[in-house]
Amino acid sequence: MPVKIGIPRALLYYNYFPLWNGFFKALGIEVKVSSRTTKAVLDKGVKQAVDDACLPVKLFFGHVIDLRDSGVDFLFIPRMVSVERKAYICPKFLGLPDMVRHNIPDLPQIIDVTVNMSRNEKNLFKALAGAGKQLGKSGFAIRKAFKRGIEEQERFHRLNRLGFLPHESIEQMENGLLDQNFPPNLSREMTIALVGHGYNIYDQYISMNLIEKLRQMGVNVVTPDNLVDDLIEERSGELPKRMFWTLGKRMIGSAFHFMRSDHIDGIIHVASFGCGPDSFTGEIIERHLRRKRRVPLLNLTIDEHTGEAGVITRLEAFVDMIQWRRAAQ
Amino acid sequence: MRGYLGIDVGSVSTNIALMDEQEQVIENLYLRTQGQPIRAVQKGLDYIRNRIPADMEIGAVGTTGSGRHLASIVVGADSVKNEITSHAVASSKLVPDIQTVLEIGGQDSKIIILRNGVVADFAMNTVCAAGTGSFLDQQASRLNIPIEEFGPIALKSTTPVRIAGRCSVFAESDMIHKQQMGHNLPDILAGLCEALVRNYLNNVGKGKEILGPVMFQGGVAANVGIKRAFEKALATEVIIPEHYGVMGALGAAILAGEAVKKTGQTNFKGFGIAEEEFSTLSFECGDCPNLCEVIEISAQDKVLARWNDKCGKWSNSILKKQKVGEEAC
């Protein structure tokens, strides 16, 4: 029976799952993803997590518990320090494997290799090779599997550029969606850019199904993940000082692009309550937008509450406003 | 002669407005919701029925506010619109060149920025309800003064004291402290008004370009102390419309009138619903781990609607014209 490794469907799952999945599969390891977020998963996470963590981190705990209970041999929780030169991921990700280890009992072995590409981009290989070695694989097999993983990740990026959203790209790569009328980003009356952390906007539960709600209102949804990295990097260069949070930089860079695009009718900034970087990315985006004053902006804060009324009211009013503005032009 | 009815079911108050085809207000009503939105709507309809001109029939009904979906099922609404759009519609009908609408209600506060008669930007308070009507109510009853006298007493102040307005818990302890130091009541109340306005402008109005004419509406607009504090902070005159308390309902009535112009006839179920027995029931659906809290409303054992399920199993299981959560017009 092949060894089973569990990957939580949370946090950077929405950014790097194809890489991890491709790598482990090529090594002959069975990859088990936790089930979709439900109230039960979130409740378990909130109960076990440290109190002052943000909602997505608490949710990650829930997914870890879900995997533990489903019986996996290993848990893959890499310590993501940096994924590009001189820029970092949020400190909560640095401590993630430790937080999990010390707060959740009876866990299977955690593979917590450190990914730190801030000085050297080859570190990614080193990290995954470390994971492969812990699983008892040979150097040759690891190199081959790494190549496979990178290929999968590149395919994922290509699908995202085509207009799929990351969770749809992953679905497409795993199960195939093309024959079910995808990509869905076609012929809708307006386009709204959702700017936020992937783990907040693509998780249907904590985002309160934001993307589907917008689509039902006839809105085409685009996100930073649909853009090429170089474009985001270039646009974020407009800041007087280079931003050293990778995820925040992606939000700001893409917002700067979207606010100039003729195809974008509005921008929604999604922040999770208590997120330090989000609190100022929203502010920076708002200030820059105000100087241009062309694209309407909505700030949405998500937290543990499940009362959808507040979110629906704001979304409806935002879409109304765009329609109204158009009718007046 | 036809009349248009607007119903705004808010967290604290339920407001009903009746206007004629010339959009003149004939009757309006401000009721406490007291946690029973259906009962409040029925009470309101009963009141309107007895005051409606003999030759008038209801040509359209619109609902708004956080209880708009529930109310729309009960009365058979022609339009169901969020409160931001409703308030903006009502204000711009009244003062066509209005540029800023400040609205403070029971638990919500919002700011709407209009340019050339079109909503250009809006914001609502986030998770915190500090500085809304409920807080003023609570403080008034703590100081043992009727809420109606709050404003007039505050106006007598010559040197308002400074009170922390960031959080209503801090504000309260600050107020008690100032009381114990011997400041007089008018100065404390005026200080509270200024703190509330400061908090509103910093939170809800953060970064918004507030230009005149400025209109102030919502239940709190009854408080002249707050009006004066706004005028002081903004250094401009603040208009309080005659029907400040029911502006949302007026907007809903206007929108309903427009909706009926398109459809040709109203869905209004008649004033008989004031006597009808409605009952609501909520249950947790256990068919998947989402454990949705489904709400069911029925009249005389006939289920009218169900909602709040994520998958649509319950809401789609009864045949009806529209699904709750989607706009009717």
Confidence band for B276, pLDDT divided at 50, 70 and 90: confident
Which two tokens mark A204? 């249907």
pLDDT attached to residue B329:
38
User: How many domains is chain B built from?
Assistant: 3
The residue with greater pLDDT, B108 or A166, is A166
Q: Binning pLDDT at 50, 70 and 90, where does residue B265 land?
A: confident
CB pairs under 8 A between A and B: 74
Kindly report the CATH number assigned to the domain that includes residue B169: 3.30.420.40
B19 three-class SS: strand
The residue in chain A having the minimum alpha-carbon distance to the alpha carbon of residue B126 is A301
CA dihedral B314, B315, B320, B324 (to 10 degrees): 160
Task: Please choose, from the candidates B129, B157, B148, the residue with its C-alpha nearest in 3D space to the C-alpha of residue B12.
Answer: B129
* Residue B124 and residue B232 in one domain: yes
CB distance from A69 to chain B under 8 Å? no
Do B150 and B23 belong together in one domain?
A: no
Q: Which helix (H) or strand (E) holds B288?
A: none
Q: With H, G, I as helix, E, B as strand and everything else as coil, classify residue A305.
A: coil
What's the pLDDT score for residue A112? 92
Pair (B185, B118) in one structural domain: yes
Q: Which chain A residues are Cβ-neighbours of B126 within 8 angstroms?
A: 301
Rounded mean pLDDT, A314-320: 90
Specify the pLDDT at position B217. 93
Q: Is the pLDDT of residue A251 over 50?
A: yes
pLDDT digits (tens, 9 = 90+) for B229-246: 999 999 999 999 999 989
| Average pLDDT over chain B, rounded to an integer | 85
Q: Radius of gyration (Cα) for chain B, nearest Å?
A: 21
8 Å CB contact of B119 and A321: yes
B142 and B108, same domain (yes or no): yes
Side-chain half-sphere of A310: how many Cα atoms within 13 Å?
Answer: 21
Tell me, yes or no, whether B140 and B213 share the same domain: yes
pLDDT at A320 over 50: yes
DSSP B219: G
The more confident residue out of A308 and B277 is: B277
A185-328: what fold?
A: Rossmann fold (3.40.50)
CB-closest option in A35, A40, A303 to B291: A40
Query: In terms of domains, do B183 and B167 share one?
Result: yes
In the three-class reduction of DSSP (H, G, I as helix; E, B as strand; rest coil), residue B188 is classed as helix
Q: How far is B143 from chain A (nearest CA, A)?
A: 32
pLDDT tens per residue, range B2-60: 899 999 998 778 999 999 888 888 888 888 888 788 889 999 999 988 888 888 888 99
Cis ω for the linkage preceding B213 (within 30 of 0): yes
Residue of A nearest to B83 (CA): A313
Q: Is the residue at B133 inside a domain?
A: yes
What whole-number distance in Å separates Cα of residue A9 and Cα of residue B123?
33
Residue B253 placed within a domain: yes
A280 part of contact set with chain B, CB < 8 Å = no
B131 with B254, same domain?
no
Select from A39, A286, A301 the Cβ nearest to the Cβ of B290: A39
Which whole number is the average pLDDT over B193-203?
88
A326 vs B: CB within 8 A: no
A312 touches chain B (CB under 8 A): yes
Name the residue among B88, B5, B1 with its Cα closest to residue B260: B5
Residues B170, B215 within the same domain = yes
CB distance A313–B120 less than 8 Å?
Answer: no
> What Rg value do the Cα atoms of chain A yield, rounded?
20
> Which of the 8 DSSP states describes residue B220?
G
Judge whether residue B89 has pLDDT over 50.
yes
- Report the DSSP beta bridge partners of residue A302: A272
Predicted confidence band of residue B327 (pLDDT cuts 50, 70, 90): very low
Q: Inter-chain contact A286–B207, Cβ cutoff 8 Å?
A: yes
CATH 3.40.50.11890 maps onto chain A at 4-161
Burial code (b: 16+ CB inside 10 Å, e: under 16) for B142-151 equals eeeeebeebb
Residue showing tokens 């506060």: B109
pLDDT tens digits for range B91-103: 999 999 999 999 9
Q: Strand order in B214-217's β-sheet?
A: B118-124, B109-115, B100-104, B214-217, B238-239
ipTM of the complex: 0.74
| pLDDT classification of A293: cutoffs 50, 70, 90 | low
What is the nearest CA distance from A31 to chain B, expressed in angstroms?
22
Domain of residue B144, residue span? 96-240
Closest CA to B327 of A216, A219, A265: A216
CATH of A4-161, one of 3.40.50.11890, 1.10.630.10, 3.90.1150.10, 3.90.700.10: 3.40.50.11890
Percent of chain A as helix, strand, coil, to the nearest 5:
50, 15, 35
Both B139 and B183 in one domain: the answer is yes
Taking the Cβ of residue A28 and every Cβ of chain B, the question of whether any pair is shorter than 8 Å is answered with no
C-alpha distance from B91 to closest chain A C-alpha (Å): 15
Residue B32 near residue B134, CB atoms below 8 Å: no
In this structure, are B256 and B309 located in the same domain? no
Q: Do A317 and B82 touch (CB under 8 A)?
A: yes
> pLDDT, tens digit, for every residue of A38-84?
888 999 999 988 888 888 999 999 999 999 999 899 999 999 999 98
Tokens of residue B6, six digits: 């607007």
- The helix (H) or strand (E) run that includes residue A45 is helix A39-48
**CATH 3.40.50.11900 domain residues, chain A:** 185-328
- pLDDT at residue A184, rounded to an integer: 54
Q: Locate tokens 């995202």: which residue?
A: A160
Residue B266 is assigned to a structural domain of this protein: yes
Q: Do B281 and B261 belong together in one domain?
A: no
Task: List Cβ neighbours of A215 (8 Å cut-off, separation of 6 or more).
Answer: A184, A188, A221
Q: Which of A151-165, A175-189, A226-240, A264-278 has the lowest mean pLDDT?
A: A175-189
- Closest residue, chain A, to B66 (C-alpha): A309
Is residue A309's pLDDT more than 90? Answer: no
pLDDT tens digits for A11-30? 999 999 999 999 999 999 99
pLDDT at position A187, please? 59
Query: Residue B320 above 60 pLDDT?
Result: no
Name the nearest CA neighbour of A130 among A119, A146, A150: A146
Question: Residue B63, exposed/middle/buried by CB under 10 A (0-12, 13-18, 19+)?
Answer: buried
Q: Do B306 and B287 share a domain, yes or no? A: yes
CB B71 within 8 A of CB B9: yes
Report angle CA A76, A81, A82 to the nearest 5 degrees. 115
pLDDT of residue A307: 64
